Amino acid sequence: MVAALELYVDPVASSRVRNLWDAMEADGIPSLRDLTHGRHRPHLSLIAAPRFDVAPVRAAIGDLDVAPALPLSLDHIGVFPGRVLWLGPAPHRDLIDLQAAVHQRLAAAGIPLDPYYRPGVWVPHVTMSMRVPHKLMSEAIKLCMDVLPIEATIAGAAIADHARDVYATW
């Protein structure tokens, strides 16, 4: 995934995630804090694609509110293949419906989307690390467990195309 429609969390939750990234880095666990360009914000990717052009994405989404002030409770930990460590929100019907609506609008507009972000396949998550070293996985999980749950509210959104240095807030 290179481009995403990212949902940002409120400042208090963002600070808690950033503090966790810092704790991971202090223990030698690479976090999203310093990954690639070092400008990642704590976020939940609503949809992803190899590339996003701002104007077509905005046109396809139209009047849909992509950043409603939905509450999230980051209350569990998961790991994707490749040692990607993440925090997951408790299931929330409004979040699932929002993601499906965004996917439907972008797909209908012919915008190529990552298949892992199809409705029914998408796993909502806030990434902590893209590559936790095997020998540090238990420590990374412990650090996360020590701060859960993190109560958050969606507080904004942006189109982030990291490969092309495109960041367009909503």
Which pair of tokens denotes residue 97? 């419906």
CA distance 108 to 101: 11
Matching CATH number, 3-169, of 3.40.1160.10, 3.90.1140.10, 3.60.20.10, 3.40.50.920 = 3.90.1140.10
CA distance 15 to 101: 29
Q: Average pLDDT in the 8-15 region?
A: 98
| Residues 132 and 54: beta-carbon distance below 8 Å | no
Give the tens place of pLDDT for each residue, 76-123.
Answer: 999 999 999 999 999 899 999 999 999 999 999 999 999 999 999 999
CA 32 to chain centre: 11
Model confidence, pTM: 0.93
Q: Is the pLDDT of residue 39 over 70?
A: no
